[in-house]
Amino acid sequence: MNFRQALTWVALAGAVLAGATLLDRVGFPAPQMMLAIVVGAALALTGHLPKPLPVQVNLGVQGMLGVVMGSYLQVSLLTSIGWDLLPVAAVTVATILLSIGVALIFSRVMKVDIPTSTLGMLAGGSAAVVAAADELDADPRPVAFMQYLRVALVALSAPAIAALLDDEEGIAYSTATLGGSVTDPALPYWMIVGRGDQVAGVSTAIVLCVLGIWVGRRIGLPNAALLGPMLLTALLTAAGISHGYAPTHLFKDLLFVLIGFDVGTRFTRKVVREMARMIPAMTAAVLALSVLVAGLAMSLAYFVDLELSDLYLATTPGGINAVLATADNMNANLPLITGVQTIRLLLMMLMLPLLMRALRRFRVPQPVVA
């Protein structure tokens, strides 16, 4: 890649970040990655695509994304939930199983390969799932399409459904945000890690990324670039040894943009036609999953003394940022919602390799998307 091509990518990333900032202000779900996918696809379809980004860039992005995910684990939040965590965790596992069930039906009906449909329907961790699709033998294009269709539907429906289920007012809960133990949300947007000392924070993130990838490969982790740094960071976060190393604000947004570019630039006219054909079935599958998960939340309310709206927001199939924004506006139980969403995210990422290995035993239909 020459200097002009590198400059083109920098300009594209800057333009997408600026556009995503505007979309974020109006509540658009996952604007950084979704806008990058659209821009990348447009460039690919019109033949104006610059030279692809180096493989090392994608490797580094996955590693840093693993650091972000690992930083979500906050032991204090989990312990604050108490024994109610057990039945809620059981519902979390049930949500993953429901995702797989809906994916298998979708795969059979639409003749899409099982790894692709399963990754597309898994609830939560959309950016990580899309980033891991290649290594798990799935097509990242329909995976991204299904994941972000799910995110959009959940983001649009969660506030209205939670408001309908909320029958208590004025209850105050402690503040909690994903990554809160290692990130200061009050920092200016231009800061790239969650502490005032940017050099120390970035240095820690780089060490976690490089060491995590190395350890992941040494112990034979599938998708070591993502899972290795995630596990190492989760251990460091849980132990409370250091803080402020998670990519945040501008840096985290840039990671999502680069993942979006990687997926979007693979789109062809044939892929776009197939995606358009599958939109009705994808929408029906996502809606069915959302209804089933809402049913789980309602069933759980009979066993634990927790607000139904809080249980719904804690178990929604994805859309973490939209869910947290809704919960904050409703003065909901943020420790519960954040803790459960975090458990599912980490559990799902750890299960992915084993899940893909098990699903390959099924008869896989010929994929429609080329």
| Residue 361 burial (10 A CB sphere; 0-12, 13-18, 19+) | exposed
- Supply the pLDDT for residue 319: 61
Banded pLDDT at 207 (limits 50, 70, 90): very high
User: Which of 84-98, 199-213, 280-294, 328-342 tops mean pLDDT?
Assistant: 199-213
- Supply the pLDDT for residue 209: 92
Q: Which ranges of the chain would DSSP assign to H, the alpha helix?
A: 3-25, 31-46, 55-70, 75-81, 85-110, 114-121, 126-132, 140-165, 198-218, 224-239, 249-264, 269-300, 308-315, 320-329, 334-359
What gap in Å lies between CA 239 and CA 181, rounded to an integer?
11
**Considering only 66-80, 112-126, 259-273, 283-297, which range has the smallest mean pLDDT?**
66-80
What integer is the mean pLDDT of 240-249?
A: 78
Arithmetic mean of pLDDT over the chain = 77
- Supply the pLDDT for residue 170: 45
- Supply the pLDDT for residue 368: 46
Banded pLDDT at 211 (limits 50, 70, 90): very high
End-to-end Cα spacing for the chain: 27
Banded pLDDT at 306 (limits 50, 70, 90): confident
- Answering whether pTM is above 0.85, one says no
The tokens describing 157, both together, are 């429906």
Phi/psi at 131 (nearest 5 deg)? -65, -30
Domain ranges of the chain: 3-359
What integer is the mean pLDDT of 55-81?
A: 77
User: Which of 30-39, 130-139, 150-159, 346-355 tops mean pLDDT?
Assistant: 30-39
Residue that wins the pLDDT comparison between 82 and 208: 208
What gap in Å lies between CA 360 and CA 114, rounded to an integer?
8
How big is the chain by its Cα radius of gyration, in Å?
20
- Supply the pLDDT for residue 295: 84
Using alpha carbons only, give the angle 131, 135, 140 rounded to the nearest 5 degrees: 50
Banded pLDDT at 326 (limits 50, 70, 90): low
**Considering only 50-59, 78-87, 113-122, 276-285, which range has the smallest mean pLDDT?**
78-87
Residue length of the chain: 370
Banded pLDDT at 80 (limits 50, 70, 90): low
What integer is the mean pLDDT of 224-240?
A: 83
- pLDDT tens sequence across 22-55: 888 886 766 887 788 888 888 888 878 777 778 7
Banded pLDDT at 184 (limits 50, 70, 90): low
- Supply the pLDDT for residue 14: 92
- Supply the pLDDT for residue 41: 84
pLDDT higher than 60, residue 179:
no
Task: Please check whether residue 244 is in contact with residue 185, taking contact to mean a CB–CB distance below 8 angstroms.
Answer: no
What integer is the mean pLDDT of 156-179?
A: 61
In order, the DSSP letters of 186-243 are TS-TT--BSSS-HHHHHHHHHHHHHHHHHHHHHTT-TTHHHHHHHHHHHHHHHHTS--
Is the domain spanning 3-359 CATH 1.10.287? The answer is: no
- Supply the pLDDT for residue 40: 86
**Considering only 27-36, 328-337, 359-368, which range has the smallest mean pLDDT?**
359-368
Task: Please check whether residue 65 is in contact with residue 128, taking contact to mean a CB–CB distance below 8 angstroms.
Answer: yes
What gap in Å lies between CA 257 and CA 265, rounded to an integer?
12
- Supply the pLDDT for residue 130: 78
- Supply the pLDDT for residue 361: 65
Residue that wins the pLDDT comparison between 184 and 52: 52
pLDDT higher than 60, residue 75:
yes
Residue that wins the pLDDT comparison between 243 and 229: 229
pLDDT higher than 50, residue 175:
no
- pLDDT tens sequence across 81-118: 666 667 777 877 888 888 888 888 988 888 888 888 88
Rounded percentage of the chain residues whose pLDDT exceeds 70:
79
